[in-house]
Amino acid sequence: MTAKTGPVPSGKTAAVPAVLLAHHLKQLKLPTILREHEKVAREAARDGVDHVRYLLRLVELELLDRERRVTERRIGEAKFPTVKSLDTFDFAAIPSLNRMLTLELVRCEYVARRENVIALGNSGTGKTHVALALGLAACQRGFSTLFLTAHALASQLMEARDEKRLLKLQAQLQNVKLLIVDELGYVPLSQVGAELLFEVFSQRYERGSTIVTSNLPFEEWPAVFRSERLTGALLDRLTHHVHILEMNGESYRLKQSAGRRTAARAEPPKATAHQDHAAAPGEHDRDPHAASQPS
């Protein structure tokens, strides 16, 4: 009588644990461990690494990959029209922009503090580029982000209202950690659009960060929102704890295509680049700490 002990014979039986392991790893959603475990095992055997370290290595690989996948998903959900970072941004081309402040903002502490950013300046000066870079940085640092033009946002809100799903959309817009509203003022808003947009800013007040870019100075915002009163209330919320990026200058695109440097002198910036409470037209007289701004 011979007892059937000893190593499992090779062939079909030997494959069973591997098949089971693959199945379980899939079930547990550990694709990196599934992909890497054999290779890492060979390396561990070669280097005489013990089991704990082997397992640690695998788990670390899975964690890193998972973070990368989550960040990629977040970037996808942000709906950036293009992905841009400050690596490709030439600060020398826009002297009015506070470089230190911009680099500080990329660290995203303002998002954690639920503060806002407003980038103001004429067309082609890199406002969208900077907003995209800040959005990307926020995604990389774990903050849910959504990028929209003011026009698209107003349209989506009006559509949602007509389809009786406004509350749901408003809840989504309220919960995102960073909302980027690009190109406020490029296209005039309808009365309803302006009011719905105002509601979004209002609902996000001190709940989440908002970045707004605009080609219009604050004085001209009433024309966009079709109401002095609405604009006053809006700026009151938006500019409480705000970082202003002054981006007036030559259009980068025009300068590139012209291939020359114009001798035009840049206008001195109108407002301090970093304000705790930017003055809005007709507002804030009651706040003695508000940065004064000539009207």
Enumerate binding residues for Mg ion (CB under 5 A): 128
**Cβ pair 158, 192 in contact under 8 A:** yes
CA angle 107, 110, 114 (to 5 degrees): 145
Tell me: does residue 124 bind ligand ADP (CB under 6 A): yes
Contact stretch for ligand ADP (CB under 6 A) within 11-19, 120-128, 168-176, 284-292: 120-128
Nearest Cα to Cα of residue 211 among 276, 99, 131:
131
**Cβ pair 209, 243 in contact under 8 A:** no
Q: Which of 25, 40, 75, 93 binds ligand ADP (CB under 6 A)?
A: 93
Q: Residue count at the site for ligand ADP (CB under 6 A)? A: 15
**Min. distance of Cβ 147 from ligand ADP in angstroms?**
12
Tell me: does residue 177 bind ligand ADP (CB under 6 A): no
Helices 12-27, 31-47: axis angle to 10 degrees equals 130
Q: Which residue has the tokens 């941004």?
A: 89
286-294 contacts, C-beta under 8 A, 24 or more apart: none
Nearer to ligand ADP, 99 or 161 (CB): 99
Tell me: does residue 186 bind ligand ADP (CB under 6 A): no
For residue 204, give every residue at least 6 positions away whose Cβ sits within 8 Å of its Cβ, in sequence order, or none.
173, 174, 179, 210
Q: In this structure, what are the phi and psi dihedrals at residue 244, rounded to the nearest 5 degrees?
A: -100, 130
First to last CA, the chain: 104
Among ligand ADP, Mg ion, none, residue 21 binds (CB under 5-8 Å by kind): none
Among ligand ADP, Mg ion, none, residue 126 binds (CB under 5-8 Å by kind): ligand ADP
The number of residues making up the chain comes to: 295
Q: Which residue has the tokens 């992905």?
A: 83
Tell me: does residue 135 bind ligand ADP (CB under 6 A): no
**Min. distance of Cβ 66 from ligand ADP in angstroms?**
31
Contact string 222-261 vs ligand ADP (x = CB under 6 A): ------------------------------xx--------
**Min. distance of Cβ 252 from Mg ion in angstroms?**
11
Nearer to ligand ADP, 95 or 282 (CB): 95
Nearer to Mg ion, 30 or 97 (CB): 97
Please state, in angstroms and rounded to a whole number, the distance separating the CA atoms of residues 64 and 203. 35
**Min. distance of Cβ 35 from ligand ADP in angstroms?**
36
Judged by the rule CB under 6 A, the positions of this chain that interact with ligand ADP are 84, 88-90, 93-94, 123-129, 252-253
